Structure 1
Amino acid sequence: MYEKRDFETALELITALSPLDIDHWPRGMYVFRGLRSTKFGLVPSAYRSQSEISARRMWTGHGGVSGGRQVFYEIKMLWSFLEACDASGLQVTGDSIQVRQLLLDAMQFVWNPAEWPPTELLPALATAQHHGVPTCLLDWTRRSYVAAYFAASSAARESESDGELAIWALRVDMHEQWEKLSLLTMPGGTTANLAAQVGLFTVSGIKATGGENFVSTAIEYQDDVYNNLIGPNPGLIKMTLPVSEASELLKLCADLGVRGSVLFPGYEGAAREVIDLAHAYPSFLPKPWPQ
């Protein structure tokens, strides 16, 4: 099971996350993910059955979600993303005539879900994932402070001030021994956001036949992350902080140079930073200009 570490203040957490503490964070051993609530597990967006957009909702009234139907849903999401990019004149990293044909001939994956996703589609899936399309990929970052920013920014925007945010640390130095998960590192040119966030992904495959009922297992409950470890460092760590400290955590991240305009190059990041500032510093909100 994962190791849990609770913190009371933002300063305590940000100090514990320091990459200079190589005893706790040996270089290259861990990747990080920040979430606005400890209630959320490490589940890819395409597998979240309660989401507004999900395979379960697509197949409502059709007898549930089998492995094949889950794959069909994911293919539909990716194909729709590529078509929308076509309409906008946007190039998607890894897209090609061969990729499009692979999607058109996708019934082979519907009948054999264990073969999904094929390597050829991973760059397009990574781009789609990083822009909010549900996929079987889960975002991580190699920088602990980036994960802290995402947890703090999303938690600060919530109206409820109780509960706890979470930052997960996943050990990946033994990822080649994983059986149900895989680690995916994409070139920085895949998307500007991916490069700025030093992002990478875990890929969750479907361990069901085309007709078998599909049930996803959150990463924190998968044996891969706990087996074959060498040394004392845990396979998975969950760090928590009261949501009431989210604004202070945002300020500390900004002091360290981790802010919206840096992690999201372009207008989106500039706007995000303004919203973050408004949450971190209520007095920042615009007031009538003095006469």
Structure 2
Amino acid sequence: MKKVDYPERGYFEINIDHIDNFIELIRPDKENLRQYLNYANKKLLFRGQENSEWELTPNLFRSIPHFIARKFDGLAFVEWTYLHSFVKACDLNGVQIPYDSMIFRNNFLNEFPNSCALAPAKWPLSEYYELLSFAQHYGISTQLLDWSYQPLVACYFAASNVVKNNNIEGDFSIWCMDIEKINLLNDFEKKNIEIIDVPKSLNQNISSQQGCFTLVRQDVTRDSKCTFCDEKKRIKEVTLVNDLVAKKEQHTMLLKINLPNKFASDVLNFCDAYSINATTIFRGVTGASQHVKDQINKNKFDDCLRSRN
């Protein structure tokens, strides 16, 4: 295993070339991560990504080209309109949403908050957190970033997407963050990052996935520009989690583990041995059907891998 420090990027990286070393490092008791993260109490978050070259970019910042939002007040308004449309669609479908009441709708859904229009750095208000997380888990783009307290959940999401897309070449990654040190990223009178743990009764997928979210507060004004970078495929001016970590010179709290894609099927087998698969991560029929799809994708991936060896 090769460790590489990237303080200017806000993390350090371990490149692993064998599945056995990966399993020893990422096992559920988290014990072997201690030698790298030097944590005190195993307060870790995990995120899996199918491409090791991807940044820690929330979907909203990846899906808004420049012609939709050129300034941050417009970007905040776009996210609010997504929520507004989502709630209207839930009403049409008879779906209960979190934090719902006439007072909430009158105060927060009838019109975009004036305070956020004047100062987009205040968006989103905490009153929107439950709705944002609910919408995010059903495919709506938000500036929240998904994490899990369970390392194998992160492994499942990364590896299952690798086999789904039949990507034999390249690496996937598991990000690990020591949240015991999260306050080192905040200022004395200002929170730059928040870990959002919402009530899980109306969103059972979050419960199954032991999930939570991070929200990085953007240091912007109403006239701050939004420039979509085609090379990075995201809005260039936003601050990501690792950007904030780099700024605060705390890169040892964020670890990125890379593993070749050819081991994705082995990772899924390891997760399944601990009962981490689509049937336990997604509730109901959705989980059952996804489990079948995962098995089909895995068989195709294994066949493709064998044909290349």
Return the match for 2:146 from 139, 142, 154.
139
Of 273-282 and 166-175, more deviation after overlay is shown by 273-282
Partner of 2:71: 66
Return the match for 1:104 from 101, 110, 121.
110
Matched, 1:10 2:19: yes
Partner of 1:84: 89
Partner of 2:233: none
Counterpart CA distance in 2 for 1:275 and 1:89 is 28
State percent identity of aligned pairs: 26
Partner of 2:245: 223
TM-score, normalised via structure 2 length: 0.81
Paired AA for residue 208 in structure 1: V
Tell me, yes or no, if the aligned pair for 1:55 and 1:69 is still in contact at 8 Å.
no
For residues 141-171 of structure 1, the C-alpha deviation after alignment (integer angstroms, 9 at most, x for no partner) is: 0001110011000111113310110100011
- Count of residue pairs the alignment pairs up: 272
Return the match for 1:204 from 216, 219, 222.
216
TM-score, normalised via structure 1 length: 0.86
Paired AA for residue 132 in structure 2: L
Partner of 1:288: none
Of 144-153 and 179-188, more deviation after overlay is shown by 179-188
Paired AA for residue 41 in structure 1: E
Tell me, yes or no, if the aligned pair for 1:139 and 1:201 is still in contact at 8 Å.
yes
Counterpart CA distance in 2 for 1:199 and 1:279 is 25
Partner of 2:183: 176
User: RMSD between aligned alpha carbons?
Assistant: 2.2
Tell me, yes or no, if the aligned pair for 1:171 and 1:225 is still in contact at 8 Å.
no
Tell me, yes or no, if the aligned pair for 1:148 and 1:249 is still in contact at 8 Å.
yes
Tell me, yes or no, if the aligned pair for 1:6 and 1:240 is still in contact at 8 Å.
yes
Tell me, yes or no, if the aligned pair for 1:30 and 1:172 is still in contact at 8 Å.
yes
Counterpart CA distance in 2 for 1:223 and 1:125 is 24
Paired AA for residue 7 in structure 1: I
Return the match for 2:200 from 173, 180, 188.
188
Partner of 1:39: 53
Tell me, yes or no, if the aligned pair for 1:34 and 1:168 is still in contact at 8 Å.
yes
Counterpart CA distance in 2 for 1:203 and 1:224 is 16
Of 272-281 and 86-95, more deviation after overlay is shown by 272-281
Structure 1, unaligned runs of 5 or more: 60-64, 286-291
**Cα deviation, residue 81, structure 1:** 0.9
SS of the residue 1:182 aligns to: strand
Alignment CA distance shift 1:283-1:3 (3 Å): closer
SS of the residue 1:170 aligns to: strand
Tell me, yes or no, if the aligned pair for 1:29 and 1:173 is still in contact at 8 Å.
yes
Paired AA for residue 49 in structure 2: L
